[in-house]
Structure 1
Amino acid sequence: MRPGLERLFRPKTIAVIGGGAWCANVVAECAKIGFAGEVWPVHPNRPEIAGRKAYASIEGLPGAPDATFIGINRHATIEAVRALVARGAGGAVCFASGFSEALAETGDGADLQAELIAAAGELAVLGPNCYGILNYLDGMALWPDLHGGTKVERGVAIVAQSSNIAINLTMQQRGLPIAYMATVGNQAQTGLAEIAEALLADDRVTALGFYIEGIGDVAAFAAMAGKAAKLGKPLVALKVGRSEEARAGAVSHTASLSGEHAGASALLRRLGIAEVRSLSAFLETLKMLHVAGPLASNRIASMSCSGGEAGMMADTALGFDLNYPPLTQEQKQELGEALGPKVALANPLDYHTYIWGDTDATVRTFGAMMRGAADFGVAVLDFPRAGLGSVADWEKVIDAVEITRSGTGKPMGILASLPENLPEDVARRIMARGIVPLTGLEDALAAVEAAAFIGRVRLADHAPLPPLQPNDSRIVGEGEAKRMLAGFGVPVPGSVETTRGGLAAAAAEVGYPLVLKGLGLAHKSEAGAVVLGIDSEVALMDAARGMKADRFLVEPMVAGAVAELLVGVTLDPAHGYLLTLAAGGTKTEILEDSTCLLLPVTAEEVDAALSRLRMAPLLDGYRGAPAADRPAIVAAVLAVQDFVTAHHGLVEEVEINPLLCLEEGAMAVDALIRMGEKHE
Structure 2
Amino acid sequence: MRSLERLFRPESIVVVGGGFWCENVVRECRKSGFAGKICAVHPTRDEIWECPVVRSVAELPFVPDAAFIGVNRHATIETVHALSKSGAGGAVCFASGFREASAELDDGNSLQEALVEAAGDMPFLGPNCYGFINALDGASLWPDQHGLAGAETGVAILTQSSNIALNLTMQTRGLPIAYLVTAGNQAQTGLSAIADALLSDERVTAIGLHIEGLDDLAAFVGFAQRAHALGKPVVVLKVGRSQQARTAAISHTASLAGSAAGASALFKKLGLAEVTNLAAFLETLKLLHTVGPIVDNKIASMSCSGGEASLIADAAMGRRLEFPALTDTQSRTLQEVLGVKVALANPLDYHTYIWGDVDAMGRVFSAMLESDAAMGIVVLDFPRPDRCSLDEWLKVIDAVEIARENTSKPIGILSSLPENMPENVALELLVRGISPLCGMEESLAAIEAAAFLGNRQAPNSIFVPTGSIEPISLDEAKAKDLLKKHGVAVPCKAVAPSGACAAKAAEDLGFPVVLKGVGFAHKSEAGAVKLDLNSADDVLVAASGMASETFLVEEMVTGALAELLVGVVLDPAHGYVLTLAAGGVLTELFDDSVSLILPVTRTEVDCALEELKIARVLNGYRGKPACNRSLIIDAIMAVQACALSTAVAEVEINPLLCGETFAVAADALIRCEVS
- CA deviations on 1:455-491 (whole Å, 9 max, x unpaired) are 22223432323154212x3221222211110110011
Structure 2 partner of 1:404: 403
- The aligned counterpart of 2:664 is 667
Report matched runs for 1:466-485 at 5 Å. Answer: 466-471=465-470, 473-485=471-483
Shift of 1:560: 3.2
Aligned residue in 2 for 1:2: 2
Query: Is the deviation greater in 386-395 or in 577-586?
Result: 386-395
Deviations 1:189-239 (CA, angstroms, capped at 9, x unpaired): 211122222221111100010111111111111111111111100001111
How far apart are 1:663 and its partner, in Å?
2.4
Shift of residue 394 of structure 1? 1.9
Change (3 A) 1:416 1:503: same
Deviation at 1:502, TM superposition (A): 2.6
- Bigger mean CA offset, 361-370 vs 47-56: 361-370
Q: 1:492 to 1:21 in 2, by over 3 A?
A: same
8 Å Cα contact 1:467/1:577 also seen in 2 = no
* Distance in 1 (alpha carbons) for counterparts of 2:242 and 2:468: 24
SS class of match (1:117): helix
Offset at residue 114 of structure 1 (A): 2.1
Work out the CA distance in 2 between the residues paired with 1:618 and 1:356: 51
* Contact 1:467-1:572 within 8 A present in 2 as well: no
Note the 1:511-522 alignment, pairs <5 A.
Answer: 511-522=510-521
1:2 maps to amino acid: R
Distance 1:623 1:421 in 2: 50
- Give the secondary-structure state (helix, strand or coil) at the position aligned to 2:283: helix
Kept in 1: contact 2:224–2:459 (CA 8 A) = no
**Rounded Cα–Cα distance in structure 2 between residues aligned with 1:528 and 1:84:** 66
Whether the 8 Å contact between 1:652 and 1:675 is mirrored in structure 2 is yes
Contact residue 465 and residue 600 of structure 1 kept, 8 A = no
Task: Give the aligned residue type for 2:482.
Answer: M
SS at match of 1:354: coil
Structure 2: runs of 5 or more not aligned: none
Give the whole-Å Cα distance in 1 for the aligned partners of 2:204 and 2:138. 15
- Quote how far apart the aligned CAs of 1:150 are: 0.4
Residue 336 (str. 1) matches residue 335 (str. 2): yes
Query: SS state of the match for residue 224, structure 2?
Result: helix
Does residue 1:557 correspond to 2:556, yes or no? yes
Distance 1:595 1:249 in 2: 18
**Distance between the aligned counterparts of 2:246 and 2:640, measured in 1?**
22
Residue number in structure 2 paired with 1:652: 649
Contact 2:41–2:53 (CA under 8 A) maintained in structure 1: yes
C-alpha separation in 1, matches of 2:515 and 2:145? 68
Alpha-carbon separation, structure 2, partners of 1:557 and 1:341: 68
2: CA distance, partners of 1:203 / 1:75: 38
Say if 1:260 and 1:572, in contact at 8 Å, map to a contact too.
Answer: no
Match of 1:364 in 2: 363
**Offset of 1:346 from its aligned partner?**
2.5
Contact 2:269 2:460 in 1 (8 A): no
Aligned to 1:416: 415
| 1:205 matched to 2:171 | no
Are 1:47 and 2:46 an aligned pair? yes
* Higher mean displacement: 136-145 or 325-334: 325-334
Pair 387,84 (structure 1): closer, same or farther in 2 beyond 3 Å = closer
Tell me, in whole angstroms, the C-alpha distance in 2 between the residues paired with 1:105 and 1:652.
Answer: 32
TM-superposed deviation, 1:332: 2.9
User: Is the 8 Å Cα contact of residues 127 and 188 (structure 1) preserved in structure 2?
Assistant: yes
> Structure 2 CA distance, aligned partners of 1:524 and 1:279?
43
- Farther off after superposition, 386-395 or 655-664: 386-395
Which has the larger displacement, 357-366 or 563-572? 357-366
Q: How many angstroms does 1:553 deviate by?
A: 2.8
Matched letter for residue 346 of structure 2 = N
Deviation at 1:411, TM superposition (A): 1.3
> Percent same amino acid at aligned positions?
59
CA distance in 2, matches of 1:288, 1:624: 46
Taking a change above 3 Å as real, the CA distance of residues 662 and 341 of structure 1, as seen in their structure-2 partners, is: farther
- Following superposition, the deviation at residue 260 of structure 1 comes to 5.6
CA positional deviation for 1:570: 0.9
* Structure 1 match to 2:616: 617
8 Å Cα contact 1:466/1:575 also seen in 2: no
Corresponding residue for residue 167 of structure 1 = 166
Rounded Cα–Cα distance in structure 1 between residues aligned with 2:558 and 2:344: 49
Alpha-carbon distance in structure 1 between the residues aligned to 2:230 and 2:571: 30
Structure 2 match to 1:324 = 323
Structure 1 position 605, deviation (Å): 1.9
What is the aligned partner in structure 2 of residue 70 from structure 1? 69
Residue 347, structure 1, aligned to residue 317, structure 2: no
Report the AA paired with residue 203 of structure 2. R
**What is the TM-score with the length of structure 1 in the denominator?**
0.95
C-alpha displacement at 1:305, in angstroms?
Answer: 1.9
CA separation of 1:635/1:44 partners in 2, compared to 1, >3 Å: closer, same or farther?
same
Greater Cα offset, 669-678 or 623-632: 623-632
Displacement of 1:388: 4.1
Alignment of 1:232-381 (within 5 A): 232-242=231-241, 247=246, 250-259=249-258, 261-381=260-380
SS in 2 for 1:319: coil
Whole-angstrom distance in 1 between the partners of 2:601 and 2:209: 28
User: Closer, same or farther in 2 for the Cα pair 1:425/1:485, shift >3 Å?
Assistant: same
Distance 2:535 2:345 in 1: 62
Per the alignment, residue 488 of structure 1 pairs with 486
Q: How far apart, in 2, do the equivalents of 1:67 and 1:417 lie?
A: 43
Q: 1:602 to 1:388 in 2, by over 3 A?
A: same
Q: Does the CA contact (< 8 Å) of 1:363 and 1:403 recur in 2?
A: yes
CA distance in 2, matches of 1:533, 1:323: 48
| Residue 541 of structure 1: how far off its partner (Å) | 4.4
The 1-side partners of 2:351 and 2:650 are apart by 57
Partners of 2:271 and 2:416 in 1: CA distance: 28
Residues 382-461 of structure 1 mapped to structure 2, 5 A cutoff: 382-461=381-460
Secondary structure of 1:237 counterpart: strand
Q: Structure 1 residues 83 and 391 mapped into 2: Cα distance closer, same or farther (>3 Å)?
A: same
Instruction: Please show how residues 185-204 of structure 1 align to structure 2 within 5 Å.
Output: 185-204=184-203
Q: How far, CA to CA, are the matches of 2:664 and 2:153 in structure 1?
A: 56
Alignment CA distance shift 1:126-1:533 (3 Å): same
Alignment of 1:572-651 (within 5 A): 572-647=571-646, 650-651=647-648
How much does 1:539 deviate? 4.4
Q: CA deviation at 1:545?
A: 4.3
The residue type paired with residue 267 of structure 1 is L
Note if contact 2:384-2:420 (Cα within 8 Å) is conserved in structure 1.
Answer: yes
Kept in 2: contact 1:467–1:574 (CA 8 A): no
Supply the AA of the counterpart residue of 1:203. E
Partner of 2:27: 28
Contact 1:500 1:552 in 2 (8 A): yes
- 353-362 vs 17-26, which deviates more? 353-362
* 3-state SS of paired residue (1:59): helix
Q: Which amino acid aligns with 2:486?
A: F
Q: Normalized against structure 2, the TM-score is what?
A: 0.95
> Structure 1 residues 2, 323: CA separation in 2 closer, same or farther (over 3 Å shift)?
farther
Deviation at 1:116, TM superposition (A): 1.9
Deviates more, 1:257-266 or 1:148-157: 257-266
How much does 1:399 deviate?
Answer: 2.1
Partners of 1:603 and 1:243 in 2: CA distance: 27
2:566 aligns with: 567
Q: More displaced, 456-465 or 20-29?
A: 456-465
Q: Give the Cα–Cα distance (whole angstroms) in 2 for the partners of residues 221 and 365 of structure 1.
A: 45
CA, structure 1 residues 140+24, in 2 after alignment: closer, same or farther (shift >3 Å)?
A: same
SS at match of 1:105: coil
Question: Distance between the aligned counterparts of 1:296 and 1:365, measured in 2?
Answer: 22
After TM superposition, give the deviation of residue 656 of structure 1 in Å.
0.6
C-alpha contact 2:57 2:83 (8 A) present in aligned 1:
yes
The 2-side partners of 1:394 and 1:561 are apart by: 62
Alpha-carbon deviation of 1:537? Answer: 4.6
Question: Equivalents in 1 of 2:336, 2:626: separation in Å?
Answer: 46
State how far apart, in whole Å, the 2-side matches of 1:250 and 1:351 are. 55
